[in-house]
Structure 1
Amino acid sequence: MTDSEIYYRPLPLLSGGRWRLAGGPVGFSQFELLRRGAAPELSDAAPDYVIRALTAPRADILGLSMDRPRIMGIVNATPDSFSDGGSYDPAAHAAAQIAAGAEMLDIGGESTRPGAQEIPPAEEVARILPVIAAAGPVPVSADTRKAAVADAALKAGAGMVNDVSGFDFDPGMPGMVAHHAAPVCLMHAQGLPADMQDDPRYDDVLLDVYDALAARIARAEAAGITRDRIIVDPGIGFGKTLEHNLAILRRISLYHGLGCAILLGVSRKAFIGTIGGARTAAERGPGTLALTLAAIAQGIQIHRVHDVAEITQGIRLWQVLSEGSGK
């Protein structure tokens, strides 16, 4: 068995630990060794290259350090997003998200909910540019799969691209992002929004997603995007069943081994309602907070949420208790 066939997941500790995970507040001293078709094993050791990838501090993103959790507020400039599409004026909502404590905004003009259909780039651009202009001093991410839309957004003042296809949708996206020297979030998705939830299948979802993200990182680097400008997102709910989502969330610290900051987007997702008995998306804030705190305990840095004020409040209380746990 060679090291390349073993996946090393750091086992997070809220207090103490031999190493710091990604240079942040979470420590670890042991590893869970994961192999396809085999039961997990515990180990006190890992190769030096694995430890370097797991412990190296992540680069700042949009001027924000990645040594503590960061809140990304969602602004949907769409009439048909699954949670709140068409329920507010996007520019006014951007201001409200900032007032609620969002440290960055993710502005999207095309719904990527299950079953959503593609819209023309010009329509997407027309939806998001006024919102970017209204965002003021808070850094902005453009949530788009299309190079033409990302190009227009970056020229209008956005600082980052959030591509839910992980560069799979538009072959022009890697070169465009490299040209702008912008940070990019590469998300994993199986299929397109129109059909991604029809029958998603994996051999081992946790490891399959890891390999797919590693391939996306390699493709981005080949296009001239340095790793310190790459963020990864395992894509909860994008071509994944409830069981797939839970398998990823239980062991999400594995993805620190990719050497990038990690973004998590679980906010108001349907599986929260299924488990928590919350029929409407707006009722899923408590479940979102529970998953967010669990992810923070595994060192996840960026949290993309609808309910900024509520999630921020919960994190602050959790941090106060956690910071005192080792005293």
Structure 2
Amino acid sequence: MEQIRVLITGGCGFLGTAVVSALLETKRFEVTVIDINPPSLGSTTFANDVRYVRANVLDAEALQKVFSEARPAVVIHTVGVYPLGMRRYSMKGKEPVFRVNVEGTRNVLQAAKECGAKGFVYTSSITVVLDELDKDFRSVDEEWPTGRAHTSYGLSKAIAEELVLSANTHDFATCALRSAPIFGPNDAACIPTIHSCIAAGQTPFILGTGTNLQDFVYVDNVADAHVLAVANLINSQTAAGEAMFITNGEPVTARDLCIAVWKEFGHVPKFQMRIPETLAWWMGYAAEWTSWLSGTEGVLLSRGMVSDGCRERYVSISKARQILGYKPRVSLEEGLKISCQHYQKKISQRSKR
């Protein structure tokens, strides 16, 4: 059976690598990866099965050349800038975020259309809805409006998503997968951040009520959703023009998630102390001022983080189940164990150097 050509932007990243692995596992796809920092020859597990090309999504001319050579039937666009620290919860420093997330997406879309691609899968984010930080979101679906995010990330992803979905035509089918916060092996944000609370002595403290539910998703489940979306756009095209939430389908309190992670590292808080949301907000405000005065931005506490952490943040994945046949195959519990074991090995390797 002839293999289907797929091109992935950001295929060397955390999610991109998992998507490449999931595509190769089916043995149905010929994969080209473009990345701003592709691996050196022979240094990746997929060296013999994947073509790697160095390219920047902001370089439209270079993209068009790569796309015309690869001639993909479907493009998966995973590249995006995710601000860290206080910038995650604000519009501060939005220019580079919008440049990559919006203009980069526009360039990739144009290159995909010009090379004759038939499908386009965009890695969107749950934040296109949920980054309206002062509101609760309980089991919301895709009918909820976007464009109201208070953050550069959420708003830029919403604008880019709209570009992708509005480009949908009979000959060029597009869809968007709105992922929840992703964790897994090689995760640089979720597991390391939660683990760092142990050394910082922060594990006893609970922000707000600690009962508000939030969504997360294991990286392999998101990768599976991308493969399902590619297959759909090639065949039935029932996903064409659609946005779909992708989560583990297991809303959990942030506290329970943290405790599950800490237990994997042999840590159990000796006591618990609740910090009312109002007090936490003022503590975040003070931390921001301290950060500003010291010229650093690496604070763990900010007003945005408090607002986000104290809200309900979970969605329905019924649409993805119905249209894509999506079913999370790695449970939250199993995914956390795998992720923590992998991170523990990394810590041990560092300590031996």
Q: TM-score, normalised on structure 2?
A: 0.32
Q: As a proportion of its length, which structure holds more helix?
A: 2
